[in-house]
Amino acid sequence: MPGVEQAAIAATVPFGMVELSRNVQRAGLRPEADTKPATAAEGLAFNATWNSVGANYFAAVGLPVRSGRGFSSTESIAPGGPSVAIVDETLAKHLWPDGDPLGQSIQYANPNAPIAKSDSGHIGIGNDLSGEPASEQVIQIVGIVPATRYGLFEKNPAGEIYIPFARGFQNNIFFLVRFRQFPQGGEAAAAEMIRDTVRQTDPVLPILSLRTFEQHLEASIQLWLVRAVAALFTVFGVLALGLAVVGLYGVRAYSVARRTREIGIRMALGARSLEVLKMFMREGSITLFSGVSLGLLLAVATGRIVSGFLYQVSPLDPIAFATAAVLLAVASIAATWLPARRATHVDPLKALRGD
């Protein structure tokens, strides 16, 4: 197709609805179920994302092969031949923390094999997807690529193993097409061009979804949940801040208004309006500073408590903290200054008779 730079096939796609995983360990190690290996050299297995891909997959998605080689066209389309795999840097580091994994051999671990714990939040399907008994399959590592996240909440990728597509065929597949330049008409024209090409190749082949990767990411259920929860918390946060501003203004205004008689006495004794106003503003500033300081400390503590529920948001967000502090400070200053200014302009005799 004109304008296409790379095209590849894969069993799964990052941030998709389907994610497959396998338990992987060094080849030739089969620790007993009741043993507790502590390292990969002792037979410890690691859960890794599993994907079968075509020869051009890494070029299509922009993953450079850091060492070794990618899959050849023959390996990608021929189901037979030597078993080879490409692993990411995370899995390579797990299996050979002090050595070079390139050229080494791995195998799929038995279902009851000891598995290393992971803090990645990785969840996958641990079925035997290879079609070959795990105890009989030894796979040689031929390449190393960078790690890839497959979910929004995956902080640290658990590791990934790629095998040639023909040796891990799945009936639900993805084609990834990278355009050097979209044809005239943009994304819509490119999508229609792809549909026409598929129809010419196989008129009955169903295309379940055709969209850009940005659109694919936008359709992610995880991202939708994050945005829905964020919108809900934003609404509640704005309401809470609004109630706090109104409440603070009311309390400060009431406390100053109650001292109208005191203001009248001070004015009757010769105090000037500016001096009385400064006194109230000074007292209000002390209360404001104390309240904002205590509130920020509590906000920092609360942020650390809920930090585990946040996604790409710092628990010490300076913009949120500054916005709340400034709004409350403005409300407090206005609630102190306006009633005090009004009271200092009242005739002292009227102020004294007010109670």
Q: What is the mean pLDDT of residues 101-126?
A: 70
End-to-end Cα spacing for the chain: 89
Q: Is residue 147 part of a domain?
A: yes
Q: Are residue 109 and residue 169 in the same domain, yes or no?
A: yes
pLDDT value of residue 69: 92
pLDDT above 70 covers a percentage of the chain that reads 86
Using CA atoms, how far apart are residues 44 and 220, in angstroms rounded to an integer? 33
140: nearest Cα among 110, 170, 167: 167
Encoded tokens for 35: 């043993």
pLDDT digits (tens, 9 = 90+) for 278-287: 888 888 888 8
Choice between 302 and 106, residue whose per-residue pLDDT is larger: 106
Question: Is the Cα dihedral 75, 78, 84, 88 positive or negative?
Answer: positive
Cα angle 288, 294, 296 (rounded to 5 degrees) comes to 100
Q: Is residue 120 part of a domain?
A: yes
Q: Is residue 205 part of a domain?
A: no
Using CA atoms, how far apart are residues 87 and 71, in angstroms rounded to an integer? 12
Tell whether the model's pLDDT for residue 342 goes beyond 80: no
Confidence tier at 150 by pLDDT (50, 70, 90)? confident
Q: Are residue 172 and residue 236 in the same domain, yes or no?
A: no
Q: Are residue 169 and residue 279 in the same domain, yes or no?
A: no
Tell whether the model's pLDDT for residue 119 goes beyond 60: no
Confidence tier at 253 by pLDDT (50, 70, 90)? confident
- Asked whether the beta carbons of 107 and 31 are under 8 A apart, the reply is no
Q: Is residue 64 part of a domain?
A: yes
Encoded tokens for 195: 């549909």
pLDDT digits (tens, 9 = 90+) for 165-193: 988 888 778 899 998 888 887 888 888 88
Number of structural domains the chain divides into: 2
- 285-318: buried (b, 16+ CB within 10 Å) or exposed (e) per residue? eeebeeebeeeeeebeeebeeeeeeeeeeebeee
Distances (CA, A) of 287 to 46, 299, 301: 57, 18, 21
Lowest average pLDDT, out of 152-156, 179-183, 279-283, 319-323, goes to 152-156
Q: Are residue 103 and residue 157 in the same domain, yes or no?
A: yes
Using CA atoms, how far apart are residues 91 and 85, in angstroms rounded to an integer? 12
Distances (CA, A) of 70 to 56, 105, 146: 8, 16, 13
Q: Is residue 321 part of a domain?
A: yes
* C-alpha atoms less than 13 angstroms from C-alpha of 292 in its C-beta half-sphere: 20
Lowest average pLDDT, out of 35-39, 98-102, 232-236, goes to 35-39
pLDDT value of residue 309: 65
85 DSSP β-pair partners: 141
pLDDT above 90 covers a percentage of the chain that reads 17
- Phi-psi group of 99: left, alpha or beta (phi > 0 → left; psi -120 to 50 → alpha; rest → beta): beta
Tell whether the model's pLDDT for residue 128 goes beyond 70: no
Encoded tokens for 295: 């509130």
**Residue written as tokens 């094999």?**
113
Q: Are residue 168 and residue 312 in the same domain, yes or no?
A: no
Which of 37-51, 82-96, 164-178, 249-263 shows the highest mean pLDDT? Answer: 82-96
- Average pLDDT for the chain: 81
Last residue of a domain, one of 120, 154, 181: 181
Using CA atoms, how far apart are residues 30 and 109, in angstroms rounded to an integer? 8
pLDDT value of residue 142: 94
Q: Are residue 11 and residue 133 in the same domain, yes or no?
A: yes
Q: pTM for this structure?
A: 0.67
Q: What is the mean pLDDT of residues 267-284?
A: 80
Task: Count how many residues are written for the chain.
Answer: 355
pLDDT digits (tens, 9 = 90+) for 197-240: 889 999 888 888 888 888 888 877 878 888 888 889 889 988 98
Encoded tokens for 242: 């609004």
Instruction: Give kind and range of the element (H or E) at residue 294.
Output: helix 273-305
CA-CA-CA-CA torsion for 73, 26, 120, 214, nearest 10 degrees?
Answer: 0
Encoded tokens for 66: 């850091």
Q: Is residue 87 part of a domain?
A: yes
21: nearest Cα among 162, 222, 198: 162
Using CA atoms, how far apart are residues 175 and 152, in angstroms rounded to an integer? 22
Lowest average pLDDT, out of 74-83, 115-124, 245-254, 290-299, goes to 115-124
pLDDT value of residue 165: 92
- Asked whether the beta carbons of 125 and 115 are under 8 A apart, the reply is no
Lowest average pLDDT, out of 157-166, 221-230, 260-269, goes to 260-269
Tell whether the model's pLDDT for residue 53 goes beyond 90: yes
Domain extent for 333: 222-353
326: nearest Cα among 262, 247, 245: 245
Q: Are residue 248 and residue 158 in the same domain, yes or no?
A: no
Tell whether the model's pLDDT for residue 9 goes beyond 60: yes
pLDDT value of residue 351: 59
* Residue 344 buriedness (CB in 10 A; 0-12 / 13-18 / 19+): buried
